[in-house]
Amino acid sequence: MTEAEVVRIMRQHLEGLFPKVCPVCLRRFATLREYLLTTTQLGPAMPYDAELGDWKPLRPLGTMSYATPTVLMIMPANSEQTVNIADRAADSNP
């Protein structure tokens, strides 16, 4: 599998998570693009399974990334895949 194929698969997965509503401020993000353009990531994504040294978990914990919307609230974006949100933002601008 090429890097481009991996990026395409990951992008499709993440786009499928939307629309998404912030559980704190109740702001609705219609698309991944809107989310990436209107939030600021708070640090790197945290791959919990890898941090625990478990590279082949039977029940994956997944990766968590926190972002600050323009209203300055924290919204978790959860995925079972490790994702670099900065790369996704660059890929979202065709």
The predicted-structure confidence for 2-21, as pLDDT tens digits, reads as follows 999 988 998 998 899 999 99
Q: Is the pTM of this model over 0.75?
A: no
Q: Which is more confident, 71 or 93?
A: 71
Kind plus residue range of the DSSP H or E element containing 35: helix 32-38
Proportion of the chain above pLDDT 90, given as a percent:
20
- Least confident range from 27-31, 35-39, 60-64, 69-73: namely 69-73
Mean pLDDT of the chain: 76
**SS3 category, 70:** coil
In terms of average pLDDT, the best of 27-31, 52-56, 62-66, 81-85 is 27-31
> Which residues neighbour 52 within 8 Å (Cβ) at sequence distance 6 or greater?
61
In the numeric block, the tokens 């919307």 are attached to 69
**Local confidence band at 76 (pLDDT 50, 70, 90 cut-offs):** low
Judging by beta carbons within 10 Å of its beta carbon (0-12, 13-18, 19+), is residue 33 exposed, middle or buried? middle
Domain total of the chain: 1
Domain containing 72: what range? 3-91
